[in-house]
Structure 1
């Protein structure tokens, strides 16, 4: 079985990119943005992109499963960012050079403080004992999701440390990639994996999960939602696929190469809008498989685990149709 890459840092675009003199749709106050050219990134040929596994790029927030205080925990993504003065200096340099290459950071003084529990992501470069920022001026990292932390309450709703489980959205157990299932999965099954948290209060909820009164947040293992008939890695074919294929109603594609490297393309790279109406992921039938034993370790009858356990065995036509008032 192919080993899927772990999303610990920013993933490179499958194409070479260039600056377009228009305001960025992704980053506020940035008067330019990056778009894909038709030229392949040279690194993808070395990684044998044509044999890579194509998977759906999900629109959520990145998470990680590893140990904390001797037990497996869910960790939330927290990039260490520059303080206001350093950020202003960095933006000015970017605007003048249309690139961040050559910019010099004072890592000890330029960055905001982070919690003592913060750890840098894997493969972050270090210099003089300090982690070095990436081309976006961020130092990727993680903080543990602890019970009672309001900042990460939506993360907490998808994990039960008492039972040692998380709520995972994945292709159905019979490998039917046209059907999804929601299951309570042991944290031990996900050790050292990265996942995406999606749901009601994440990035505008493009998949239509839950509502304000009944929020739903679920984890999805990176690389688990495979694209069945991906287009070739060619600009025109990808553009056409995003525009006309039902499978193309996704934020983007992430390719998992045999050597563990990752490459991506998202709709913004191609000048296409996102969200794009009824998403491909949101339109798949989904069955709930969260049995009573999944919530046995907890006594909170109002938890998301308990609510989903009442729907155990129910099948819905799409993620938008999941509701608890049956």
Structure 2
């Protein structure tokens, strides 16, 4: 079986890309689009992408489980970005040289401050003890999610540090077509990256929960597999995204045997996302959350308690999940 890679860096596209000077379909403020060409990326060919494991690219925010305060903690993605003045110099260099290469950063002076507990992502290159920005001028990294941190309240809603558990959505071991909501010891997730999805993340393309009763989950990267994926061919993949039920996903991430990751997003092919119902929100789901229910005031009832009260329930579709007031 191909090795599941950890999402620590930006993942390259499975095809070579080019920039088109037109309004981005992905970001309203971006006046250009990065689109796929029909040429397979040499990185993908070198990693034997045709034998890779194809998995669903989920639309959320990247998270990571690692040790903090001597116990497993959830970490949120936080890229260290340049100051406005430094970014202007970077963009001027890009415009003049038509390349990101050759620009010199002063990491201590050019970048915004980050929390003291921030750490750079794995495989970020260092020079003289300082992390080096990537081609986009960012230093990918992580910050631990504290229990009462309002900025990361939706992250903290899916972990219980006292019980050392995470709330996870995953395919059932008995039936891959069935999703299950369950609790997993954070120690079992150490070193893994996961996608946080739900009501208040990225516009909620999966229609999960409501504003009154927000619902969020962690989904381990690589856990939602695509069966019978099309070959890595531009036209066959575009037809698959447009015409098949299985293609109602944001994209594909291929996990290669050597640990490399490559991806394809609908936007790379000029296709909308989301575009009607998604494959994930239409899948049936069962709740397997059996935790000791503690004494809570109803106004502060958390997701673990709410799902524990639904333990054993089946829903025809993920988007049908709701809590009784």
Deviations 1:9-62 (A, max 9, x none): 100000001111112333454332211000011111111111100000000000
Q: Separation in 2 of the partners of 1:15 and 1:198?
A: 27
2:172 matches 1:141: no
Deviation of 1:97 after TM superposition, in Å, equals: 4.6
Alignment of 1:283-322 (within 5 A): 283-293=282-292, 295=293, 299=296, 302-322=301-321
Residue 274 of structure 1: aligned partner: 273
Q: Separation in 1 of the partners of 2:268 and 2:103?
A: 24
Aligned pair in 2 of structure 1 residues 33, 93: CA closer, same or farther (>3 Å)? farther
C-alpha RMSD over aligned residues: 1.5
Deviations 1:153-209 (A, max 9, x none): 0000000011110100000121x2211000011111111000000000000000111
Residue 74 of structure 1: aligned partner: 74
Residue 221 of structure 1: aligned partner: 220
Residue 9 of structure 2: aligned partner: 9
Aligned partner of residue 292 in structure 1, secondary structure: coil
Residue 157 of structure 1: aligned partner: 157
Residue 47 of structure 1: aligned partner: 47
Q: Contact 1:207 / 1:282 at 8 angstroms: preserved in 2? A: yes
Q: Contact 1:159 / 1:166 at 8 angstroms: preserved in 2? A: yes
Aligned pair in 2 of structure 1 residues 99, 85: CA closer, same or farther (>3 Å)? same
Aligned pair in 2 of structure 1 residues 96, 33: CA closer, same or farther (>3 Å)? farther
Q: Contact 1:62 / 1:195 at 8 angstroms: preserved in 2? A: yes
Deviation of 1:99 after TM superposition, in Å, equals: 3.7
Aligned pair in 2 of structure 1 residues 94, 317: CA closer, same or farther (>3 Å)? farther
Q: Contact 2:2 / 2:52 at 8 angstroms: preserved in 1? A: no
Q: Separation in 2 of the partners of 1:187 and 1:9?
A: 22
2:262 matches 1:263: yes
Q: Separation in 2 of the partners of 1:53 and 1:121?
A: 24
Q: Contact 2:230 / 2:240 at 8 angstroms: preserved in 1? A: yes
Deviation of 1:120 after TM superposition, in Å, equals: 0.3
Q: Separation in 1 of the partners of 2:70 and 2:297?
A: 25
Residue 122 of structure 1: aligned partner: 122
Q: Contact 1:55 / 1:227 at 8 angstroms: preserved in 2? A: yes
Residue 57 of structure 1: aligned partner: 57
Q: Separation in 2 of the partners of 1:305 and 1:135?
A: 40
Residue 180 of structure 1: aligned partner: 179
Deviations 1:232-264 (A, max 9, x none): 001000000000011111110000000000000
Q: Separation in 2 of the partners of 1:161 and 1:173?
A: 26
Alignment of 1:103-114 (within 5 A): 103-114=103-114
- After the TM superposition, list the runs of 4 or more consecutive aligned residues in structure 1 that deviate by more than 6 angstroms: none
> Where in structure 1 are there 5+ consecutive unaligned residues?
none
Q: Separation in 2 of the partners of 1:26 and 1:107?
A: 29
Q: Separation in 2 of the partners of 1:253 and 1:4?
A: 14
Q: Separation in 1 of the partners of 2:101 and 2:141?
A: 21
Aligned pair in 2 of structure 1 residues 275, 94: CA closer, same or farther (>3 Å)? farther
Deviations 1:94-144 (A, max 9, x none): 344554233322222111000000000000001111101111111000000
Aligned partner of residue 142 in structure 1, secondary structure: strand
TM-score, reference length from structure 1: 0.95
Aligned partner of residue 109 in structure 2, secondary structure: helix
Residue 21 of structure 1: aligned partner: 21
